Amino acid sequence: MKYKRLRAQKHRQIIRCFCEDITATACTEIVGVNRNTVNSWYNEFRHKILLAAIAETRAEGGEFEVDESYFGARRVRGKRGRGAAGKTPVFGLLKRGGKVVVRIVSDCSRESLMPIIQGLVLEGSTIYSDGWAAYDGLIVNGYDHYRVFHSHNEFARGKRHVNGIENAQTSGLSGALPSAGLRNSTVAHPTDSWYT
């Protein structure tokens, strides 16, 4: 970054804090630099990670689980469910026995989700999802598609479940969005590509 004139020792400390998943606020106390400086370094690291991850991203075949989720305040008065204000919509795709991709999306409509699925999953692959209407048409697009209907109190039927991606989203992302200076509108996040 053009305006960074930190001593090498402080630079290494910021990198160490980022790698140990220490928040930007805690990092400022450890290193002894301004919060804005730490935020700009953290965002630079995220951007570099994103670029490297995008370079490695390619479509794969196999069995996948897909699910959408919303992250944000626990409850917003007067608004619930998909229309809740202030929540960040996130789409997740898990390759069974493999990697996960998570993307922050503008909404969870078919128009937003299908291009992501088509860009990451090869035709002929098997996709497991919940009953959300945005997944209608996966069969027409060349995928084997199986659903579980949470609204009917169905969560698993043999190999038909989305427990893997739901677990990945809740355990991996619940703390990732608000930590270390990341805003909901930020798309340069290390979870924006395949990871194990």
pLDDT in tens, 57-115: 778 888 888 888 777 766 666 665 555 567 788 888 888 777 788 888 888 888 888 98
83 vs 177, residue with greater confidence: 83
* The dihedral sign for the CA sequence 175, 181, 187, 193: negative
- Among residues 161, 123, 162, 120, the alpha carbon closest in space to that of 143 is found at 123
Residue 178 exposure: Cα atoms within 13 Å on the Cβ side: 8
Q: Which long-range contacts (CB under 8 A, 24 or more apart) does 23-26 make?
A: 23/179, 23/180, 23/181, 24/180, 24/181
Under the banding of pLDDT at 50, 70 and 90, the label for residue 159 is: low
Least confident of 13-17, 52-56, 100-104, 185-189: 185-189
Can you tell me which residue has the tokens 């969870």?
108
Rounded CA-CA distance 193/44 in Å is: 17
Beta-carbon count within 10 A of 63 CB: 17
Q: What is the pLDDT of residues 112-146, one digit of tens each?
A: 889 888 888 899 998 888 877 888 888 888 898 88
pLDDT tens, residue by residue, 34-48: 999 999 999 999 988
Structure tokens at 87: 């929540």
Cα(162)–Cα(169) distance, integer angstroms: 11
Give 129's strand partners: 147
